[in-house]
Structure 1
């Protein structure tokens, strides 16, 4: 029985910052951003758009009435959670009007959380083939104004509906993974912004990729000649590019060139949305399928997932017949094209806004009228959504 991604979509806020504007404001050569890290724009969320809202807005795009009744497992993977105890999934369950008879949980392991959710969902469906699982990878990347990580911020969510006999991608049951305790990136409970050792994190990312690639070859999980594309977690596109480039000399030239060509298609959305942590790998999957029309049913894709701290996994999926009918490239391009470009002053003002934390009441207005959900107020230490 094949199990995998039956439907998928993404949502990102309706405003963005152009990185040329940011470079000029920070007195930096724009090519340091455009070429050096391979990014062009980054999404900027408003105060009414937290991880719950982003997740619910992504999910609304793919769920039918029947889907809502068949979902037996709801997972929100995030490192931007809104509560230390209560799962973001419970808020999302109510907003999406899902059946009460399901498991609703929140998962955390940095950017790896989305893959942890996908693999847990696959195992759930294997045991309950008549049910479906909904995985929502939702995050807001924040590093602070005028910090070294400022240019790699972003916001958005990816929704993955997992089922038996999927219509997009069948996930292979075997994969390779590795975990180790390293301090390359973290965010203490008392901090609104993440802390990172950028160069060290890149080294760990690439080392774990090479370890898993070698392990997969030793276990004969796949042959490089059979892989039609290699997708990577993309905190910024240059990071994934270095992973693909590390295979040069290990692969036949025709295989390396094929993976490199398709990698360029996979980064198109990430370059204008920015880093969305748990959803970044899956945004690259959507980008690849939207931009490369040469892919066919039966093609095998490799996916490298990485979460600082650190956990990594390398797994494969196979495109199924008719997958093209489940894609929505035109709606994605329309959503991105209609976003508002913020000035530096508007971006900095937006960034510095905060929700109250003293128990007082705070009313919020909806920043994206095209989206179905938003945070309407905070009162008595509780969040209220529409």
Structure 2
């Protein structure tokens, strides 16, 4: 049975900060942000967007009524959860209008959550071939103003419909994975912003990649020549390139040129949104599919997922016939084109806006947010969500 991604869509808020402007404001050479880190724009979530709304907005545009009837598993991977008990998936389930006969839950393992969700969804579909699973990665990366990680912040979500006989990509049989208890990146419950040991985290990202790549080659006997492209989790777009370069000597010149060229295409959306944690790998995949117009059916795409703390996994998928007919490229192009740049001063103002943490009631102006699904406020310790399309 072929199981894979039948549909994929993304959502990012309507506001962004230009990295050149942020560099000037921080008295940094713009080349450090744009070339050194590889980021051009940073998506900014207004107070009316959170993990739930980002996830719901990403799913809303790709699902039709037939999908909604067949979805009976909803998984949201995030490390930006809004509740210590109730899952984001439960809110999403209602906001996008799914039937009650469904399992819903949230997964947390740093940037690996969506990949874990996909592995669970594969098993579910294998047992229930007539059903579908919705897996969403949704996050808001926050390191704080004037911090070393500020340039890698971002906000967004990627939603994927997992089914048998997928129209986009079929997962291949093997996976390679590794876990180790390390402290390269973490966010204690008392902190709104993450902590990161940047140099150590970069080293571990590459180390885990090399481990799982070697495992995968041993399991499958595949090498660089067998891949049209390899997509990476992108905490910033230069990171994946550093890992890719460690294995390029294994291939011929044509392999190196192909993989490097396709890596550049795969980072198109990421460099204009920023880090969205568990959705970043799948944003890279989406960028490749929508911007590399001559990919052929049967092409193999490698996938490297990394979640700090830490787990790494490598797997691959194969493009299906006529896959381009089932992409939402025009919708995504409209979304990017409609975004509004804000000044650094305005960005700092929005960044510091917070919902009450003491349970106080508040109403928000949702008219300024063009998204279909928004946070309208807090009442009785409950976030108030609104789907404007209903």
Q: TM-score range by the shorter chain?
A: over 0.9
| TM-score, normalising length: structure 1 | 0.98
Please give the alpha-carbon distance, in whole angstroms, between the structure 2 residues aligned to 1:278 and 1:112: 5
Tell me the equivalent position of 1:4: 4
- What secondary structure sits across from 1:190 in the alignment? coil
Shift of 1:72: 1.1
In 2, distance between residues paired with 1:62 and 1:87? 22
Alignment correspondent of 2:227: 227
8 Å Cα contact 1:121/1:162 also seen in 2:
yes
Which runs of 5 or more residues in structure 2 are unaligned? none
Q: Is the 8 A contact 1:46 1:367 kept in 2?
A: no
Asked if the contact 2:133/2:161 (under 8 Å) is kept, the reply is: yes
* Contact 1:155-1:273 at 8 Å conserved across structures: yes
In structure 2, distance between residues paired with 1:99 and 1:333: 30
Q: Secondary structure at the match of 2:173?
A: coil
The match for 2:301 is 301
Q: Secondary structure at the match of 2:312?
A: strand
Shift of 1:384: 1.2
> Take 2:349 and 2:161, find their aligned partners in 1: how far apart are those partners?
36
1:373 corresponding residue in structure 2? 373
Inter-partner Cα distance in structure 2 for 1:28 and 1:8: 37
1:269 and 2:269 matched: yes
1:154 has 2:154 as partner? yes
Aligned length: 386
Q: 1:311 to 1:267 in 2, by over 3 A?
A: same
Moved more, 326-335 or 294-303: 326-335
Q: Is the 8 A contact 1:79 1:111 kept in 2?
A: yes
Tell me the equivalent position of 2:202: 202
Q: Secondary structure at the match of 1:79?
A: coil
Change (3 A) 1:236 1:298: same
**What corresponds to 2:351 in structure 1?**
351
Query: Is 1:107 aligned with 2:114?
Result: no
Change (3 A) 1:21 1:214: same
Residues 1:42 and 2:42 aligned together: yes
2:73 aligns to what SS in structure 1? strand
Corresponding residue number in structure 1 for 2:175:
175
Q: For the residues of structure 1 that align with 2:69 and 2:294, how far apart are their CA atoms?
A: 35
Mapped partners of 1:359, 1:221: distance in 2? 56
Q: Give a deviation string over 1:88-137, Cα, whole Å, max 9, x none.
A: 11111110110111100000000011111111111110111010000010
TM-score (norm 2): 0.97
**What is the RMSD computed on CA atoms of the aligned residues?**
1.0
Deviation at 1:309? 0.4
Q: Provide the rounded CA distance (Å) in 1 between the counterparts of 2:241 and 2:330.
A: 26
Q: How does 1:282-321 map to 2 (within 5 A)?
A: 282-321=282-321
Partner Cα distance (1:35, 1:367) in 2: 37
